[in-house]
Amino acid sequence: MQSYAIKSIFVANDFYVREFKFRITKEQNMFLRKIATTIAISLISTSVWASCAFENDTEIKLLSNSYDAWKAVTSAMEECGNVTTVLDIDFKDKINEAFAANPSLYQIGGISNGTMVPLLNAGSIRPLDDLVAKYGSHLNPSQLIKIDGKIMAIAMSVNNQHLMYREDVLSEFRIAVPTTHAEMVAAAAIIAKYDVVDYPIGGTYKAGWNLGEEFVNNYLGNGGEFFGEGNAPSINNATGIATLNTMKDLTAYMDPEYLVGDSTYVQQQFQQGKIAMATLWGTRAAAMDNAEESQVVGKVIMASAPMGTTRPASTNWWDGVVFATNMTDEQADAAFRVAMEGLDTEMVQANNDTGVWLVEGFVAGSAAAGAIATANNGAAPYPSSLPGMGAMHTALGNGIAAFLTGDKDAATALADIEAAYTISATESGLM
């Protein structure tokens, strides 16, 4: 297998984010070259699972997010027996405490490059070199997430937020595919004149983590930097104000209840034919063509995230599994074998379009086009390696709503966010 670079896909290593090579076949590379001009591949997946390679007799529990890729992976794990999976959209608020318990409440955690950092800092996940040597010979090098030279996680897929749009709606009104947020707003203004959708734009603006992520995406897309010397906050500036104003411009064409809109909410709005455009996670793309729950099958196209002033207004992530420190060696052995059953070629072949998989057997199809285009256009990695990023993300998620609702102007909102961050960072020893 030959390696080709997909720009700006990153893994955590030595607490910094470093670029790696996304390994694809020559045939897949040929497809990627064609993505800019055509999306031609649509794969038919099967729902038939290969049976587990072993019979698991050790009780194993997993906590992860709840989107379709995790449903696919955990369904394959459950075939081994004695496996309980909890898929919870709020998993990131629960996993740290769950893994800190002794014994851990879960043996396996489904995480990302962002949610992994607190677990690393707490010492609640175990190195995997011995288990990879025993059971992981099929894993691609890009799946091995190393910290200080030790394998600490197994990546399964890459992810980012990118533009999804109703091709039929844009074509009807002869609207070009938006490449910036200004073009997105202009397109929305045209669509709003006609009774074709409830809201031209959907937004994952739920107050808290989602709203903070929207600012991070747009701020990085505009070339912003979050911190100055000594982890001091640095967002109350022209770039920060411009970012907030862009976010507010988009809300004019959203559901008025946008502050409760998480990824599942916006996905359902799309599937119900209520919106025409949204920047949504790549892991939600396949759901648009799920005939059992979608009314817009074949109508939603995946494209690159809108460009900021310097790069796409998005961040690249990876998703994967970690294993708790506080469990027995017997549990660790069984948990890793179960996880490998969930991350094998058979699972990918049955669920090819539910993610941009790093697992052997993935063939890039139309559902992956937006995520790949966003990465290739230079989207930045989510800056999880920055010591203060967790506190900054929290402060952003809690503070931006006051600007969007008109309670504060942009400069005041950003100043208050910086103040909230400073209190948190000082209490934790970052400043």
Quick one: pLDDT at residue 117? 86
Three-state secondary-structure class, residue 274: coil
Beta-strand relationship, 380-381 and 315-323: parallel
Quick one: pLDDT at residue 90? 87
Contact 385, 12 (CB under 8 A): yes
Quick one: pLDDT at residue 92? 87
Exposed / middle / buried, residue 193 (Cβ in 10 Å: 0-12, 13-18, 19+): exposed
CB atoms within 10 A of CB 374: 31
CB atoms within 10 A of CB 199: 20
- Residue closest to 62 by CA, chosen among 54, 70, 50: 70
Quick one: pLDDT at residue 39? 28
- Residue closest to 62 by CA, chosen among 270, 267, 339: 339
Quick one: pLDDT at residue 67? 87
Quick one: pLDDT at residue 26? 43
Q: Which long-range contacts (CB under 8 A, 24 or more apart) does 83-92 make?
A: 83/56, 83/338, 84/59, 84/60, 85/61, 86/61, 86/62, 88/63, 88/64, 89/65, 89/262, 89/263, 89/264, 91/63, 91/64, 91/65, 91/66, 91/115, 92/65, 92/209
What the chain holds in terms of domains, given with CATH numbers, is 10-159+318-377 (3.40.190.10), 161-313 (3.40.190.10)
CB atoms within 10 A of CB 295: 12
Beta-strand relationship, 108-112 and 315-323: antiparallel
Quick one: pLDDT at residue 423? 97
CA-CA distances (angstroms) from residue 287 to 292, 293, 296, 298?
Answer: 9, 8, 10, 11
- Which residues have CB under 8 Å from 183's CB, separation 6+? 176, 306
pLDDT under 70: residue ranges of the chain: 1-50
Q: What gap in Å lies between CA 151 and CA 130, rounded to an integer?
A: 9
Peptide bond into 103 cis (omega under 30): yes
Residue 1 carries which DSSP code?
-
First to last CA, the chain: 47
Q: What DSSP string runs through 331-364? A: HHHHHHHHHHHHTSHHHHHHSGGGSEE-STT---
CA-CA distances (angstroms) from residue 147 to 117, 131, 134, 151?
Answer: 11, 16, 20, 6
Q: What DSSP string runs through 24-68? A: --HHHHHHHHHTTT-----PPP--PPPPPSS---S-EEEEE--SH
Three-state secondary-structure class, residue 166: strand
Please give, one letter per residue, the 3-state secondary structure of 204-229: CCCCCHHHHHHHHHHHHHCCCCCECH
Note the helical H segments in 192-295.
Answer: 209-221, 238-251, 263-271
Quick one: pLDDT at residue 89? 86
